Amino acid sequence: MFQAILNDRFSGSSVLLEKTLDWLSSEVASGNAISDAALHQLREVHSGMACFVNLQRFFSENKLSEKSLNKFRGRIAEEEHGMLESFCRSFPEDMNRVSVYSCSGMVLKALTMLERSLEVDVALCAPDGEGQVMAESLAKIPGVVSSLWGDGPYFSRVLETQAVVLGCDAISPNWLINRSGTGALIAIAAGLKIPVYLVRGPLKFLTDDELLELSLKQGIDVPAVASSDIRWENPLLEVVGIGDVIVP
């Protein structure tokens, strides 16, 4: 289970955190010791995700046990409920055509809680293709019609949307971390006067300094190129300012 979490390249940070807590619970129930090195490895492999920073921080201050895990889950559930309620209160009732970007478990929960008919455009997020997972998950929500777009057409499609809804991997007073391309999406939406809403998740909060010091996860797919002079770049995450983002 631990290796599967390390190898998971499609789940959002909230889902990865849930999987990690399930793994920790099974290990505690089996009487297995969890090393700090394992938690550090999760933080390194999924770099840029604040939840693993805060997870390691919590268990450096609290002994790992069934009781402490239940306390931790309770904290997450309380934070998550408050954030989802805040989003639903702030999201206008007349908006039903939205764009989402990357695979966010919190965005899925937020759109489900709206309990309304929605048309949702999703970017493929090539070359990893995590948008396909997002589109398929959205299609299971009653009343939601999801459309999966290639990345270039998706950014043009923003012209037709009423709002952009984003999740994030980390947030601080002035910054957020999300899938590469988020900064361009926010800039396009701001230029078109389309509101961008952020669905925050639990354990995503860091100080500005902590966020800016995080290393960011890189993509792993490397294409074959004819010239060694061509440099391949595929950063999976990026740091974006939150000045043009509505944070309920």
Distance CA 51, CA 62 (A): 16
Q: How much is the pLDDT for 39? A: 85
* Last residue in a domain, options 80, 107, 123: 80
**Residues 19 and 108 reside in one and the same domain:** no
- What are the structure tokens assigned to 72, written together? 């931790």
176 lies in which domain range? 83-206+233-241
What confidence category does residue 221 fall into, taking pLDDT thresholds of 50, 70 and 90? low
Neighbours of 188 (CB within 10 A): 17
> Is residue 98 in some structural domain?
yes
> Is residue 247 in some structural domain?
no
Would you say 175 and 18 are in contact if contact means Cβ atoms under 8 Å apart? no
Number of domains, the chain: 2
**Residues 17 and 119 reside in one and the same domain:** no
**Buried/exposed 147-175: b ≥16 CB within 10 Å, e otherwise:** ebbeeeebbebbeebebbbbbbbbbbeeb
Classify residue 158 by its DSSP letter: G
* Last residue in a domain, options 12, 46, 80: 80
In CATH, what number is assigned to the domain containing residue 198? 3.40.50.10470
What average pLDDT does range 223-229 have in this prediction? 72
What confidence category does residue 31 fall into, taking pLDDT thresholds of 50, 70 and 90? confident
In tens, the pLDDT along 119-157 reads 999 999 987 788 999 999 999 999 999 999 999 999 999
pLDDT exceeds cutoff 80 at 219: no
Would you say 200 and 247 are in contact if contact means Cβ atoms under 8 Å apart? yes
Top-confidence residue, 43 or 110: 110
**Residues 117 and 71 reside in one and the same domain:** no
> Is residue 215 in some structural domain?
no
What average pLDDT does range 4-25 have in this prediction? 88
pTM (two decimals): 0.90
What confidence category does residue 243 fall into, taking pLDDT thresholds of 50, 70 and 90? very high
Q: How much is the pLDDT for 226? A: 65
Of all residues in the chain, the percent with pLDDT exceeding 90 is 67
pLDDT exceeds cutoff 80 at 85: yes
